[in-house]
Structure 1
Amino acid sequence: MKFSTIGWTGLAVAAASLLRGARAEGALNFCLGVKHADGSCKYTDDYLADFEALAPYSSVVRTYSTSDCNTLQYLMPALAQSSHNFQAIIGVWPTDDSHYALEKSALIQYLQQYGTDHVKGVTVGSEVLYRGDLTASELANRMNEVRQLLKDNGFNLPVGTADSWNLWVDGGSDPVIDASDFFMSNAFSYWQGQDTSNMTNSFLDDTMQAMGRIQARKGTSDISFYVGETGWPTGGPSYGSAVASTDVAAKFYKEALCGIRSWGVDIFYFEAFDEPWKGTDSGVEPYFGAMDSNRNLKFDLSC
């Protein structure tokens, strides 16, 4: 999807100018799946192997759930045992009351067991507003519930969420902005059907629009802002003018993602490893990894 930039381009330019002068290069982080290529769940040794493969490039990952595939049960000891000092932003899935209750229970259980030394923060949901799973007010309420739950159990962790860049821009997300300690903006030029001549400018503009809108709502430029998901598929069908290939993925990384990192913005690449379990019927979904499912790097990740 492509959304109008009218009204926010000035803020985007101002934000980019401020970032260029104020911050060091943004970090490369990774979204991390919890399943093997065949769809079975990962265990602690699998996460340790993931960290070994990612360590030359990053030391931060994000996940999406605490209880699905018993994520925290196996991820938290891997974080503690890894010699690479990885940290995670861990996700709580806020939809479906019974699932949400399991998520909160697992969150507190494993924070109590392993502590917070390797936890950077907690996201409540991912693209909840984009899918229409909850209203902005409902999501904000759940974010505040999780924050209070953490405080009641002696944990002082920032709470945020991730959503599509346009949902931050359109004004409907203001209750979520107000409830957030940090922000993750997802932006995929591939899913906007952009070709190689437009993909970089589209991504940079979309991201700066999201940042500018959040800064305007918060009344300050001093916000914790990440690109929560971005990347490009290396296989599967085209989407509009966007061609899924390793060459284009590498170009997108070098131009768009190194570009935003040069402005001081941390990114979470979606995703660390290919996920063949999603199946070819899902189109490009199995092919978004910076590495294949055997942890082999597909293209150069230097900037």
Structure 2
Amino acid sequence: MDTRLRASASNNTLNSQSSRHRRSALAGSPRSGANSRPPSVAPVITHSQVLESSGAIQSREQLYDILNKDDDQEDMDYMSGAWRQQRDGDTDNELRDNSSFYLTKPRPEFLSRSSNRSSRRSSSESSTVNANSDIELNSRPSRAAKLGGEGISSSNVSAAPSVSEKRATMYENSAFHGEYAELTLKTEKSAWLRSKNRTTRKWKSICCAVGIVALIAAVSGIVLGFVLRKGKVDGLAPPHDPENPTSTIPPITHFTPDPNLRKAFYGVAYNPAKSLMPWCGVTLQAVIDDLILISQITNRVRLYGMDCQQADLTFQAIKALGLKMEVVLTLWVDKDPVTIQRQHDTLFNVLDAHGTDMLTGVSVGNEALFRKDMDLATLGNLMATVRSELIARYNKAIPVFTSEIGSNMDSSLAAVSDMLQGNLHPYFSGTSAQMAANWTLAEYESKIAEYPVSSGLKGVISEIGWPTAPASAVYLNGAVPGLANMQTLVDSFVCQANAAGIPYYWFEFRDEPWKVNPEVPVEPYWGIFDKDAKLKIKIPNCIAP
């Protein structure tokens, strides 16, 4: 084979020179000008000639190994140095100009695509090959001495390799192994990324599941909150255990009297904010703050229930402030026997704790007949039971009665009551504010005083008042809500009733915004004070008995 190769190389020397010049022109070498070195002449062996001369060579890789005595380990020896030399300024063009063309060991296809550096070098080699019709197979000049001992003389190949040629060889070998190392790194990184992606997907799934559960919980909470808060507005509190103390902070009881206030009212209806089940939240300090104002306009209060410690806190506040006030307690009555029993038990617990000195009466129910929560016979029996227990427990005759609207006042109700107490509201009669005082006094005479009770006690107007809003809620074309109309009733009724000795409870101490009712839009706006405890009217210049 060596003889055939030498003969073929001798016959094609001129073709090699021509091909080299064509390649230089096509590659656009920057050294092709006047300062460029003439290209070295090296023997050229075309691939087609080798294949025609011998059928023993099966592949380009085998030919490379025969011509170059290739040893991959030897290539590794050049690796680190070649990279440093390439880094210090050698370029691909310089390497091509300083070295003869040589056979490049075939690489797997995936390695040739592993980096941009490899692609650039492949492009340069491709342009070199395209300059000749056949692939040129040149042995490395650095292997000439070794090949000479096996039949290929150094004159047929090339002279001793130059420094640039050695660099080219080292670059080639180091590039190959460097690309393989890069591929290995990328493969390892891909495995790591795959593992990380699996972990990421796992956490994403967990986060999605947690998010869905949280969303369901949030929606459920909103729905539950809406159900629990149905009908609840400002003034009500979250659910609260009424048996637990509401405050451990010492209350503030010192206050400076307001010169705009005077005790002109016989009594005032009082319902502490946040004292409706199940939204209990009233505190002792809140009740004290209310009673500081109430005590400056009256000596009497009437409550509407026993829930949420409102009666207990009222007694505590009166004692804390050192007041001399009279209290009417109400045992709230509705259709639920549980409610009635709870109210009953709480009533006697409060009286056991505070005594009966401040208690001037117990109202069993408020407008229960009007709402049809209980009939008169059942209501009469309940009043009799409470009356008997009061006498048995405290050995004291405390008046027991109920509060009803004027149209339910009659002799039958008087027969089961210690006194008659009527809620007389000129607004709901459709009376104008200018005529409201006269209408109320007339109703008292015809609906309460007309039906004497066995105890001989004088009847009481348990509610009288006027709403201040909304102005559009005109009742029967005559009763118009408004501050001015409320002031008219106060000025015309309060001092007149005081002078006549007619007992009454003004409805009410303070606006109650939690009483929102679209059917009766005036419900929240009956207070002498607004919801923020600001005085809404001018207090009349008279003093109640």
TM-score interval for Structure 1 and Structure 2 normalised by the shorter chain: 0.7 to 0.9
Aligned to 1:19: none
Task: Output the CA distance in 2 between the equivalents of 1:256 and 1:26.
Answer: 11
Shift of 1:266: 1.5
Task: Note the C-alpha offset of 1:69.
Answer: 2.2
Q: Which of 295, 298, 301 matches 1:61?
A: 301
User: 1:40 Cα deviation (Å)?
Assistant: 5.6
Taking the TM superposition and a 5 Å limit, the aligned residue runs for 1:170-249 are 171=411, 174=412, 176-215=413-452, 218=454, 222-236=456-470, 237-240=473-476, 241-249=478-486
RMSD after superposition: 2.3
- Tell me the equivalent position of 1:289: 527
Distance 1:196 1:233 in 2: 10
Residue 283 of structure 2 corresponds to which residue in structure 1? 43
Higher helix fraction: Structure 1 or Structure 2?
2
Corresponding residue for 2:267?
29
Identical aligned residues as a percent: 24
How far apart are the structure 2 equivalents of 1:280 and 1:162? 22
Q: Which residue identity lines up with residue 463 of structure 2 in the other structure?
A: E
2:524 aligns to what SS in structure 1?
Answer: helix
User: 2: distance between equivalents of 1:51 and 1:29?
Assistant: 13
Residue 233 (structure 2) aligns with: none
Aligned residue identity for 1:88: V
Given that 1:29 and 1:59 are in contact with CA atoms closer than 8 Å, whether structure 2 keeps it comes out as: yes
Q: 1:135 deviation in Å?
A: 1.6
Question: CA–CA distance in 2 between the matches of 1:280 and 1:160?
Answer: 28
Task: Measure, in 1, the Cα distance between the counterparts of 2:450 and 2:281.
Answer: 38
- Identify the match of residue 80 of structure 1 among 319, 334, 348: 319
* Alpha carbons 2:264, 2:539 under 8 Å: kept: no
Structure 1 residue 94, shift from structure 2 partner = 3.0
C-alpha displacement of 1:32: 0.5
C-alpha contact 1:187 1:229 (8 A) present in aligned 2: yes
Q: Which deviates the most, 151-160 or 98-107?
A: 151-160
The structure having more radius of gyration, on CA atoms, is 2
CA drift at 1:197:
4.2
| Deviation at residue 72 of structure 1 after TM alignment | 2.4
Q: What is the deviation of 1:123?
A: 0.7
Which residue does the alignment assign to 1:301? Answer: 539
Say yes or no: does 1:133 pair with 2:373: yes
SS at match of 2:343: helix
Structure 1 segments of 4+ aligned residues over 6 angstroms from their partners: none
SS in 2 for 1:224: coil
How far does residue 88 in structure 1 lie from its aligned partner after superposition? 0.9
Cα distance in structure 1, aligned partners of 2:343 and 2:405: 23
Task: Provide the rounded CA distance (Å) in 2 between the counterparts of 1:110 and 1:37.
Answer: 16
1:166 is aligned to 2:166: no
Offset, 1:27: 5.2
- Structure 2 residues without counterparts, runs of 5 or longer: 1-262
Q: 2:512: which partner in 1?
A: 275
CA distance in 2, matches of 1:277, 1:37: 11
Quick one: higher RCO (CA 8 Å, sep 6+), 1 or 2? 1
1:290 positional shift: 0.8
| Structure 2 equivalent of residue 108 of structure 1 | 348
Amino acid at match of 1:145: T
**1: CA distance, partners of 2:417 / 2:264:** 21
* Cα distance in structure 2, aligned partners of 1:139 and 1:299: 38
Q: CA deviation at 1:54?
A: 1.4
Say which SS state the counterpart of residue 432 (structure 2) adopts.
coil
Q: Tell me how far apart the structure 2 counterparts of residues 77 and 246 of structure 1 sit (CA, whole Å).
A: 33
1:102 to partner: Cα distance: 0.7
TM-score (norm 2): 0.47
Using the alignment, how far apart are the partners of 1:55 and 1:264 within structure 2? 20
- In 2, the alpha carbon distance for the partners of 1:265 and 1:27 equals 11
Shift of the 238–40 alpha-carbon distance from structure 1 to 2, 3 Å rule, reads farther
- Give, in angstroms, the shift of residue 55 of structure 1: 1.7
CA distance in 1, matches of 2:405, 2:275: 27
The one-letter amino acid paired with 1:223 is: L
The TM-score with structure 1 as length reference comes to: 0.82
CA separation in 2, counterparts of 1:272 and 1:262? 22
CA drift of 1:145 comes to: 0.8
